[in-house]
Structure 1
Amino acid sequence: MNSGVIKKTFFILLLTFYITNISAQSSHVLWYNQPAEYFEESLVLGNGKMGATVFGGVNSDKIYLNDITLWSGEPVNANMNPEAYKNLPAIREALQNENYKLAEELNKKIQGKNSEKYAPLGTIEITSPNRGKATNYHRELDISKAVSKVTYEIDGVKFTREYFVSAPDQIMIIKLTSSQKGTLNFDINLSSLLKSNVEVKDNVLSLSGKAPLNEHVGYTVLPKYLEIKERGTRFTTLMKIKNTDGAIIASDKTLGVKNATEAVIYVSIATSFNGFDKNPATEGLNDKTIASKSLKKAFAKSFDKLKSSHVADYKKFYNRVHLDLGKTTAPDLATDERLLRYSEGKEDKNLEILYFNYGRYLLISSSRTKGVPANLQGLWNPHLSPPWSSNYTMNINVEENYWLAENTNLSEMHLPLLSFIKNLSVTGKITAKTFYGVDKGWAAGHNSDIWAMTNPVGQFGKEDPMWACWPMAGAWLSTHIWEHYIFTQDKDYLKNEGYQLMKGAAEFCMGWLVEDKNGNLITAPSTSPENQYKLADGFVGATMYGGTADLAMIRECFDKTIKAAKILNVDAEFVKKMEADLANLHPYQIGKKGNLQEWYFDWEDKDPKHRHQSQLFGLFPGDHITPLKTPDLAEASKKILEIKGDETTGWSKGWRINLWARLWDGNRAYKMYRELLRYVDPDGKKTEKPRRGGGTYPNLFDAHPPFQIDGNFGGAAAVAEMLVQSDENEIRLLPALPDAWESGSVKGICARGGFEIEMTWSNKMVMTLTISSKNGGKTSVIYGENKREIDLKKGEKKILQLWIKEKK
């Protein structure tokens, strides 16, 4: 072989290597060389109501089913502790006397029941008689289409399974094919951890049952089934097979196919849940009828028609945003291998994009049901007694789930949370009066559930006030209403629904505030979410007065409610009262370490590296602390983050990345983003050197640990925050761009004021910018030291010739 041929061959091999190992790498596909063994390796699908967790086994394929409306319990009795507020004077007296130990004990008297649990619906098991060795196994989830696929070969026959959960048709579809005629054989079993019944009738496999009442004490005890008629949420699952050849076989409890080439399984589910305030047993929906209608309607359609409708519906949301972070030299590996490689410090920009895209995928897939937002596990829960009941934890977690809704162009996915807030305001009015003695407005506490429970938790005095006694969820959640308005400019929503909810939250805050010895307004009693102080005499507690987090949330609540009222030109007198109270709030304090104090006094933390950083609420998700407007407070916030360090749980790391982005430190934010993507072994996996702690499981689920979805959402939101930041008056480009992302492009990121951004950058300099307006308006575009005033008409798009000048 002459040298020319050798060179040419080498070049072809090099080009093949480049194409295979670089360009083939995907920022939209998760894939694996083996089936999932653990939940944290599985691939999840959802249409915002129905969820499926796919393991992709060869001879036995397991699929967990969930319905986001299937919870234990029934409508809450908000008036459960009608005289709890009568304990407030004694608590406040103890605090005035600086008797914190007594205040801590008395604070337990202001507690109610714990939340209900999110329940697992059932498990599909598809078993095959094939016993040969599987080769060329491949399992994937294409998040650009919301379709999962499994392929493998046995004895020369290629088997394929394709899965999706359709929102337009409210159906799950599983298509099974074999490459050789008549070689497809399988049986389907249905089961549930809940009390249920399985039967086959007219070739329809059904699973029906009921969720329990959650009569237990604490998070970790399994629910007891109460044999009381007409209580609890009913559920129904129906499955039917459409085959092209072969025969459908059935027993009294199984359904299957024999000697076929192709078969499509249709799965419909429904529950009797009919709203937070309706008994699901006596006033519930007819779950059997709903499931049957969905099945019948979908069964009349072909697989191709169902799939194309599903993909088109999904893509109209997913395709709104496109992110590119420049060239990558990372090889094309299976996702778990990519994650392991990345955890060693290697470069993989497309994995960073994949994680961002996956966050958006998860929100589209888990948040499309009115009044029922994504919970601690989004939509996917296999446990009868899930971690923390998989409930709505409202001192950070449910809010973090929605940080990416507006800025990553998924406003519609925000609506389940906004409608849930409306539900909370109903029970919250009773909570405000009975637990806190406030006659106006509404309040909500640390935990909630599908029944919009708002009372402080703690099992009527049995739990620690550090997490149980916290009444500020209404103030925090009200800011989500403002965020939805300021991003969408939907004035009708603000006028007809949103503002009244904001006003109610503000009214409670006004009634809850008391004067301190200096005449400033504070909260008393107060706690800082799940954290504790340590006094000089060694006492460790949580109950105090004037907590920084409380006042930060009230500041943000008042500020946004004032702005909303002025936009609508209403409630002038109420606005004056809010402005007066806002001016009289106890001011932020900077401690001896240069830190933003968490407590009224400059006390020590029991755990200086505690995962919560609630006192920094004003920096993020709030916006009244900024490096420009309040440099001293921004510097004190930075000091807190330095004291706490970077090592923390998944959701907390997601929050800290956003905080560093707001401090315009892109490299620190990026460092923590890389750490968020640190490989974590599945919880049940036994290894010689297990990789545990906060990070990311093999299926890209966030590891708190255990799995909590908020870290996925917080991390995705932070990527957008690093690229674009905005308020009502300005848009700031590349405010926290890390060195690692020196070149790239983004399309579809949203900014406050109803604007949408498309830009490219190179060498950390903005090269092109297109800005469009949904409803018309003015804003200032800021890049580095440069500023441009923009005034756009509704629907107008403007291409700006920017100041190609490096930021200083």
Structure 2
Amino acid sequence: MKNTLLRKSVQALALACGCLYAGAASAQNDNLVLHYNRPAEYFEEALVIGNGTMGAIVYGGAQRDVLSLNDLTLWTGEPDRKVTTPDAHRSIPVIRELLDNEDYRGADREQRKVQGHYSENYQPLGQLTVTYLDEPAEITAYRRSLDIGNATARTQYLRGGKAQACDYFASAPDSVIVLRLTSAGEKGIRALLSFSSQLPHATSAAGNEMAVEGYAAYHSYPSYYKGVKEKHLYDPERGTRFRTLVRVLTQGGSVKSFPSGELKIEGAREALVLVANVTSFNGFDKDPAREGRDYRGLVERRMERAAAKTYDELRAAHVADYKHYFDRVKLDLGQTAPEIAALPTDEQLKLYTDKQQANPALEALYFQFGRYLLISSSRTPGVPANLQGLWNERILPPWSCNYTTNINLEENYWAAETANLSEMHRPLMDFIANLSRTGAETAKAYYGVDKGWCLGHNSDIWAMTCPVGLNVGDPSWACWAMGGAWLSTHIWERYQFTRDKEFLKQYYPVLKGAAEFCLDWLVEKDGKLMTSPGTSPENKFVTPDGYVGATSYGCTSDLAMTRECLMDAAKAAATLKTDKDFQKQVERTLTRLLPYSVGADGNLQEWYHDWKDQDPQHRHQSHLFGLYPGHHLSVAATPDLAKACARTLEIKGDNTTGWSTGWRVNLYARLHDGKNAYHIYRRLLRLVSPDGYKGEDARRGGGTYPNLLDAHSPFQIDGNFGGCAGVIEMLMQSTESSISLLPALPEEWKDGRVEGICARGGFVVDMTWKDGRVTDLRITARADGKTQLCFNGQKKRISLKAGESWEMKN
């Protein structure tokens, strides 16, 4: 190895965001394509595209092509302006007294009084159907693909021996979804375009354009709530409105409109179909009917601008915009055998699952697919990616397709900073700020806390913060107050990667507010500070007399999130040189928090008492929060507690849901256990059948669907994002003062290369490794900073100015 070189050559910050080795892109192109040899029959086989606000689910039919359309801002409901249970806080002292008397049955009963309404439902926009009118002919050479390297999808085949194709993409620069239909057939393109929606709507057509006007319910209930018959309440004068335009531009041929609202293409060699949509959503605190934005004018202007461009211009702008983000990170984990790589993606996934086939290209594709999904679903100010990212076909989606904040929303953003997509993190920051406003009222009304803000298990586009349940929900999933504490840690996380003090100054009051709630929510018991009441999300304990309960005191997950939130807020205050009294209060509180305990089985205790779980293999592992995504437990600093975390994971086993599997990849990586981290990553890529498939070989459970979307099941996107983050945790981990390379590298990835991943302290990492040792390394600073590099058994301190790089070459 050559001597280490310190090169202080100032580089453009664009280089600091990745793309330091231009030659890598061409070598990776073939590894960035999902491809299939038949149309999709089920959602879980279809391909998803999105521009961060609008999205489409593409089925790719040769006779009838269906695009299910979504808009991230299309929800039921109105601003959350009233407290459902204004006297709920009066039950808190009662619950505490019941817990002091060890009356867990009574505490669970009383907890139901500390519940409010449910979240609203995220809604599907509708379906655009392209029905081909050609005479029956044999379809051959069929291929359906999604190139995540440039965010374009394509369906191509021979119809009666003549080439026919459709290209699809969702453009952020032009705010439209674009389809290009081409045909080499003698009669050109003959197709009928129609629109349908499950929402109240009216469709009209004139000339070459279709227009759809509709609205969502002003209130709704989740699918699982049995207290009402009508789950959606509609009023033409209330709720979020939308307008969708579909315009067809052809080369040759003609476009005819019908009173039914359909468009017919006849005889064109090429047809450009543009889809634009705008809703009246104007912010979480604005009535979408009375205070909504000019959605009609906005969608008209968007369509006019897009229609003035050629297909090539639209595509070039889209690809350039997308690649600005996507190309920052490259990953090479090794080559897959050509005969395997040539197979359709679903067949590769099946071999990977059933035959334990080595497929490093598929493993890298899954990582990059997570980045693709985040770019595609998180670019709307104040509206982050939801439980299904952007893509939902159901009017009553699973769990309302809401923001579930006891893990799922946070997991969506675990890779935002490390995978060099900080801009996609910003919608979450705005959303947290919205939550802090509604959460202040929730803190007072439901918990009797006058300082700060809090958040329950669920939220929606209206920044709902109250605990759900309508006084009948099981406390295990309805009653929880730590969502604000957990979610606000993303503020300090983002600062650590960006070193943007203006950002930190802007959002510090939000982080401090979450910490202030924690400070006031704690009670003293047995000489220590702890929460009472509390729950461990969705899990239950078994008391010595056999009672299965949820409500307790001193829950480990509560204290872990409290500890992390307080530490982050104090560090933020110190960084900004403000609130010294607050910092001192946090320091005093941290010394008095109830410490962790190790149970008789060697596991990290989840409850105050060493009680058994109702389900020892429960999918949630909230009490391990301090290990990941938190930072106050580690192999180096708390070895005994790290060992207890490992024992907890051993007891829980491997068989769990998709998002939980994604979390466990990261937990094992933090334990520096590359063998198990990789084993669980493979488990995450376990093939799962579409939900509606009823064949004899149906595969159920957690894993990955044929289209690489995460199977909870049903579909939840968080597993994709958790798995993406887990790959980076295996390759690189960082703190405010150090960067560790290959801390949990599995034997299967002994040779590889990664470029553009980000470390705390504001650094970008590019490295090549061989036989498990780093051979080439470049560290580039986004901002002035110091760090300690740990790799190949050595430590190296470096200090860089913004734009400078440190390199080591073999």
TM-score by length of 1: 0.95
Q: Is the 8 A contact 1:114 1:218 kept in 2?
A: no
In the alignment, structure 1 residue 243 sits paired with structure 2 residue 254: no
- What is the CA–CA distance in structure 1 between the aligned matches of 2:799 and 2:463, rounded to whole Å? 42
In the alignment, structure 1 residue 717 sits paired with structure 2 residue 725: yes
**1:235 match: secondary structure:** strand
Task: Indicate the residue corresponding to 2:17 in structure 1.
Answer: none
Task: Indicate the residue corresponding to 1:396 in structure 2.
Answer: 407
Task: Indicate the residue corresponding to 2:276 in structure 1.
Answer: 268
Q: Which runs of 5+ in 2 are unaligned?
A: 1-26
Residue 547 of structure 1, aligned match among 555, 560, 566: 555
**1:731 match: secondary structure:** strand
Shift of 1:633: 0.5
5 Å-filtered alignment, 1:158-197, equals 158-180=163-185, 182-197=187-202
**2:434 match: secondary structure:** helix
Q: Is the 8 A contact 1:444 1:471 kept in 2?
A: yes
Task: Indicate the residue corresponding to 2:489 in structure 1.
Answer: 479
In the alignment, structure 1 residue 210 sits paired with structure 2 residue 227: no
Matched to 2:392, the amino acid is: N
Q: Is the 8 A contact 1:191 1:207 kept in 2?
A: no
In terms of mean alpha carbon deviation, does 550-559 or 288-297 score higher?
288-297
Q: Deviations over 1:239-261 (max 9, x none)?
A: 11111101111111101210111
In the alignment, structure 1 residue 76 sits paired with structure 2 residue 84: no
Residue 423 of structure 1, aligned match among 434, 447, 455: 434
Q: Deviations over 1:137-176 (max 9, x none)?
A: 1100000000000101111211010000100000111000
Matched to 2:651, the amino acid is: I
- What is the CA–CA distance in structure 2 between the aligned matches of 1:223 and 1:36, rounded to whole Å? 32
Residue 753 of structure 2, aligned match among 734, 745, 748: 745
Task: Indicate the residue corresponding to 1:680 in structure 2.
Answer: 688
Shift of 1:601: 0.6
Matched to 1:552, the amino acid is: A
Task: Indicate the residue corresponding to 1:469 in structure 2.
Answer: 479
Shift of 1:229: 4.7
**1:371 match: secondary structure:** coil
Matched to 2:190, the amino acid is: N
Q: Deviations over 1:541-574 (max 9, x none)?
A: 0000010000000000011111111010000001
Task: Indicate the residue corresponding to 1:125 in structure 2.
Answer: 129
5 Å-filtered alignment, 1:55-454, equals 55-130=59-134, 131-180=136-185, 182-216=187-221, 219=224, 224-252=231-259, 253-329=261-337, 330-344=340-354, 345-454=356-465
Matched to 1:95, the amino acid is: L
**1:376 match: secondary structure:** coil
Q: How many residues align?
A: 777
**2:415 match: secondary structure:** helix
Shift of 1:227: 4.7
**1:26 match: secondary structure:** helix
Q: Cα gap change, 1:69/1:332 in structure 2, threshold over 3 Å: closer, same or farther?
A: same
Q: Deviations over 1:2-44 (max 9, x none)?
A: xxxxxxxxxxxxxxxxxxxxx9993200000000000000000
In the alignment, structure 1 residue 648 sits paired with structure 2 residue 652: no
In terms of mean alpha carbon deviation, does 23-32 or 789-798 score higher?
23-32
Residue 502 of structure 1, aligned match among 502, 507, 511: 511
- What is the CA–CA distance in structure 2 between the aligned matches of 1:215 and 1:368, rounded to whole Å? 26
Matched to 1:103, the amino acid is: A
Q: Deviations over 1:689-717 (max 9, x none)?
A: 31111110000000000000000000011
Q: Is the 8 A contact 1:339 1:698 kept in 2?
A: yes
Task: Indicate the residue corresponding to 1:782 in structure 2.
Answer: 790
In the alignment, structure 1 residue 630 sits paired with structure 2 residue 638: yes
Q: Cα gap change, 1:106/1:733 in structure 2, threshold over 3 Å: closer, same or farther?
A: same
- What is the CA–CA distance in structure 1 between the aligned matches of 2:592 and 2:264, rounded to whole Å? 70
Q: Is the 8 A contact 1:548 1:598 kept in 2?
A: yes
Shift of 1:215: 3.8
- What is the CA–CA distance in structure 2 between the aligned matches of 1:225 and 1:629, rounded to whole Å? 52
Shift of 1:224: 4.3
Matched to 1:147, the amino acid is: T
- What is the CA–CA distance in structure 2 between the aligned matches of 1:56 and 1:514, rounded to whole Å? 58
- What is the CA–CA distance in structure 2 between the aligned matches of 1:387 and 1:794, rounded to whole Å? 45
Shift of 1:322: 0.1
**1:125 match: secondary structure:** strand
In terms of mean alpha carbon deviation, does 77-86 or 232-241 score higher?
77-86
**2:233 match: secondary structure:** coil
- What is the CA–CA distance in structure 1 between the aligned matches of 2:597 and 2:612, rounded to whole Å? 14
Task: Indicate the residue corresponding to 1:661 in structure 2.
Answer: 669
**1:499 match: secondary structure:** helix
Q: Cα gap change, 1:395/1:319 in structure 2, threshold over 3 Å: closer, same or farther?
A: same
Q: Is the 8 A contact 2:39 2:62 kept in 1?
A: yes
Q: Is the 8 A contact 1:25 1:331 kept in 2?
A: no
Task: Indicate the residue corresponding to 2:592 in structure 1.
Answer: 584
Task: Indicate the residue corresponding to 2:545 in structure 1.
Answer: 537
Shift of 1:214: 3.0
- What is the CA–CA distance in structure 1 between the aligned matches of 2:251 and 2:222, rounded to whole Å? 52
CA RMSD, aligned part only? 1.3
Shift of 1:230: 2.6
In the alignment, structure 1 residue 692 sits paired with structure 2 residue 700: yes
**1:404 match: secondary structure:** coil
Q: Deviations over 1:65-121 (max 9, x none)?
A: 000000001101242322110111110000000011001100110000000000000
- What is the CA–CA distance in structure 2 between the aligned matches of 1:674 and 1:156, rounded to whole Å? 41
**2:219 match: secondary structure:** coil
In the alignment, structure 1 residue 45 sits paired with structure 2 residue 49: yes
Q: Cα gap change, 1:223/1:387 in structure 2, threshold over 3 Å: closer, same or farther?
A: farther
Q: Is the 8 A contact 2:222 2:231 kept in 1?
A: no
Q: Deviations over 1:470-498 (max 9, x none)?
A: 00011001110011000010110001x22
In terms of mean alpha carbon deviation, does 523-532 or 227-236 score higher?
227-236
Shift of 1:218: 5.3
In the alignment, structure 1 residue 512 sits paired with structure 2 residue 521: yes
Task: Indicate the residue corresponding to 2:571 in structure 1.
Answer: 563
- What is the CA–CA distance in structure 2 between the aligned matches of 1:381 and 1:491, rounded to whole Å? 37
Shift of 1:451: 0.2
Q: Is the 8 A contact 2:222 2:396 kept in 1?
A: no
**1:403 match: secondary structure:** coil
Shift of 1:278: 0.3
Q: Is the 8 A contact 1:141 1:147 kept in 2?
A: yes
Matched to 2:178, the amino acid is: I
